[in-house]
């Protein structure tokens, strides 16, 4: 597994892959058909997305959240 120059630290690509994988996993668990058209569905997906970003200490990155949510809303 490729690593960055520091021992034991994941590369940016590995880090991004983990974040995306976790987002994919959690969104698949909370979504349901037509979730984009209900307040409850949007709320649950946003909550799951924020929780995942928090895990990686990225919860304060509002632009990242908005882009990730836009992608999830369009493709899930």
Q: What is the helix (H) or strand (E) element at residue 13, kind and residue range?
A: helix 12-30
Within-domain flag for 9: no
Give a yes or no: residue 1 inside a domain: no
Q: How many CA atoms lie within 13 A of 51 on its CB side?
A: 12
> Is-contact 4 11, C-beta < 8 A?
yes
Report if residue 23 sits inside a domain: yes
Return the closest-CA partner of residue 68 out of 35, 45, 36, 38: 45
* Confidence bin at 73 (pLDDT 50/70/90): very high
Q: What is the pLDDT of residues 57-66, one digit of tens each?
A: 999 999 999 9
Please report whether residue 11 resides in a domain.
Answer: no
Q: State the total domains in the chain.
A: 1
The residue whose two tokens read 């999830």 is: 72
Residue 6 forms part of a structural domain? no
Show the domain range for 59. Answer: 19-75
Residue 13 falls within a domain, yes or no? Answer: no
Average pLDDT value for residue range 4-33: 87
Q: What is the pTM of this model?
A: 0.81
pLDDT computed for residue 2 by the predictor: 47
From the list 4, 67, 74, the residue with the least C-alpha distance to 20 is 67
């Amino acid at each position: 597994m490729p690593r960055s120059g520091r021992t034991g630290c994941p590369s940016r690509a590995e880090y991004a892959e983990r974040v995306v994988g976790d987002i994919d996993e959690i969104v698949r668990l909370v979504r349901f058909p037509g979730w984009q058209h209900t307040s409850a569905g949007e709320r649950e997906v946003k909550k799951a997305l924020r929780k995942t970003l928090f895990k990686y200490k990225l919860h304060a990155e509002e632009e990242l959240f908005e882009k990730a949510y836009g992608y999830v809303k369009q493709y899930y």
